[in-house]
Amino acid sequence: MAEPSPSDEKAELVNHVVAFQGYFRVGRYSFRHTLFQGGQSRVIVREVFERGHAAAVLPYDPVRDEVVLIRQFRAGSYVAGRHPWTWETVAGIIEEGETPEQVVRREAVEEASLEISDLIPMHNLIASPGACSETCVLFLGRVDSATASGVFGLESEGENILVKVVPFVEARAMLDRGDIDNAAALIALQWLALHRDEIRARWR
């Protein structure tokens, strides 16, 4: 069987209702879609977790060769039976009228008291496409990590965020040990590992 062209893969929305609306929203969708062997599927019904779209930035100091990571309590990790405090990149939800670049600059100040000087796009990803509509635009952000430390976040949003400066070699070791299980942070650090020499030469 010949490999299908993406242009031949088509889906049709049959129905959509809001199944739940609280702090987040869950939509119930009915679809039909083309089949790889030809023809069309039956109507399938799926609930989708909808929280908007996000942008994230891995703060990096190319002179000191350090990244800045943040750590905070995460309800999803708790419910999954994992340790509920996770090492992460700075991130936030893109509000109406905002660009991803504006979001990461704002969140860097709110979550880590950091000013981002330059941004390099890394990836635009969807972490759990089977169940969640959220996408995340990932950036590498140039910072001066010399004074990065402390506890930040918006009290009005229940945030309590620890900021930690980590030498890149230690961040890489954290990846190897499995200390980082946040998808955006893991992908961003792996991207930096692949492009680090190039970035340090570019940001001298």
Considering the chain, what is the average pLDDT of its residues?
94
Quote the pTM value: 0.91
Whether residue 59 contacts residue 116, with contact meaning beta carbons closer than 8 Å, is answered with: yes
Q: How confident is the model at residue 50 (pLDDT cuts 50, 70, 90)?
A: very high
Asked whether residue 43 falls in the same domain as residue 59, the answer is no
Quick: pLDDT tens for 174-202. 999 999 999 999 999 999 999 999 999 99
Asked whether residue 87 falls in the same domain as residue 152, the answer is yes
Q: Give pLDDT, residue 67.
A: 98
With 80 as the cut, is the pLDDT of residue 1 above it?
no
Q: Give pLDDT, residue 94.
A: 96
Asked whether residue 67 falls in the same domain as residue 139, the answer is yes
Q: Give pLDDT, residue 8.
A: 87
Quick: pLDDT tens for 64-94. 999 999 999 999 999 999 999 999 999 999 9
Q: Which residues pair with 69 in a beta bridge?
A: 164
Residues 6 or more apart from 59 whose CB is under 8 A from it? 67, 68, 89, 90, 108, 112, 114, 116, 141, 143, 145, 148
Q: What is the residue type of 27?
A: G
157 catalytic? Reply is: yes
- The first and second tokens of residue 131, run together, are 């169940």
Q: Give pLDDT, residue 153.
A: 82
Asked whether residue 44 falls in the same domain as residue 145, the answer is no
Catalytic option among 50, 88, 157, 159: 157
**Does residue 84 lie in a domain region?**
yes
Q: How far is CA 14 from the centre of its chain?
A: 30
Asked whether residue 79 falls in the same domain as residue 140, the answer is yes
With 70 as the cut, is the pLDDT of residue 109 above it?
yes
CATH of the domain at 186: 3.90.79.10
When pLDDT is averaged across residues 28-52 and rounded to a whole number, the result is: 96
Quote the number of domains for the chain. Answer: 2
Q: Give pLDDT, residue 2.
A: 62
Asked whether residue 39 falls in the same domain as residue 127, the answer is no
**Does residue 138 lie in a domain region?**
yes
Q: Give pLDDT, residue 42.
A: 97
**Does residue 79 lie in a domain region?**
yes
- The first and second tokens of residue 35, run together, are 């089949």
Domain region containing 125: 54-202
Q: How far apart are CA 164 and CA 180, in angstroms?
A: 14
Q: Give pLDDT, residue 4.
A: 66
Q: How far apart are CA 172 and CA 179, in angstroms?
A: 10
The span from the first CA to the last CA of the chain, in angstroms, equals 51
With 70 as the cut, is the pLDDT of residue 3 above it?
no
